[in-house]
Amino acid sequence: MTSLRHRLPRCLAIAATLISFFAFSSASQAQLRDDPDAAPWQEATVKPPASFSTDQLQAIDVSAGTALSYGIDPRTLSVGEDGVVRYVMVARSSSGALNVLYQGVRCQTGEVKTYARWNNNASSWNVNAKEEWHELSFSGFTRPAMLLARAGICEGRTINGNAQKILQTLKHGRPETR
């Protein structure tokens, strides 16, 4: 039987090897994700759409327990050169009150940004130039955008094609879920 005194150096050598392996592995993966030769991502300058319609919204199932119904105006859906899918999201209460947002989803990073909010009283957009990107989540204020991304905007970390393909997926579901 080998004593603890003789096994300790061998265990330490194995631990050091494992630690260096995992450190190298993490560094290698980071280099693959962050290509040093690639230009840094640049977000396009965008303006809210001149108009939107609530007549033919593409419905989004957010939650059975909510008093709000959600949808996007299909005519406002666009895929930007910067890799952001933008759209007008409408939340309607049972009394008919509207909350309208101009948003963008970035599939690559799993984030959403609200560019503007519709002011019903002034019939115009309130733009917040300092708005930040927020991580998509199944809870909180990003839930509708997260469900929209999963329903058809994103395919994992990539955009699900052009605007027409995204709308078809939102309308008919993904082929494997039909």
Note whether 87 and 137 are same-domain residues. Answer: yes
Coil vs helix vs strand at 7: helix
CATH assignment at residue 120: 2.40.128
Do residues 101 and 165 share a domain?
yes
- The pair of structure tokens assigned to 115 is 């560019």
Within this chain, do residues 2 and 70 fall inside the same structural domain, yes or no?
Answer: no
Domain count, the chain: 2
The verdict on residue 53 lying in a domain is: no
Indicate if 23 and 80 belong to the same structural domain: no
169 and 85, same domain (yes or no) = yes
Provide the whole-model pTM. Answer: 0.76
Under 8 Å between Cβ of 119 and 169: no
For the segment 112-170, what is each residue's pLDDT rounded down to a tens digit?
A: 999 999 999 889 999 988 899 999 999 999 999 999 999 999 999 999 999 999 999 99
Q: What CA dihedral angle connects 46, 166, 160 and 37, to 10 degrees? A: -20
Residue 67 near residue 91, CB atoms below 8 Å: no
Give residue 161's domain range: 58-177
Please report whether residue 41 resides in a domain.
Answer: no
Distance between CA 174 and CA 166 in Å, rounded?
Answer: 10
**What is the spatial distance between Cα 165 and Cα 112, in angstroms, rounded to a whole number?**
20
Residues 19 and 87 in one domain: no
DSSP state, residue 149: I
The reply to whether 95 falls in a domain is yes
Whether residue 23 is found in the same domain as residue 103: no
Residue 74 lies in a domain: yes
Give the closest residue to 88 by CA, choosing from 98, 96, 100, 80.
Answer: 100
Whether 39 maps to a domain, the answer reads no
> CA separation (Å) from 178 to 64, 107, 169, 173, 175?
20, 23, 11, 6, 6
pLDDT tens for 44-97 read 999 999 999 999 999 998 877 778 999 999 999 999 999 999 999 999 998 999
How would you label 30-44 residue by residue, b for 16+ Cβ within 10 Å and e otherwise? eeeeeeeeeeeeeee
Same domain (yes/no): 93, 137: yes
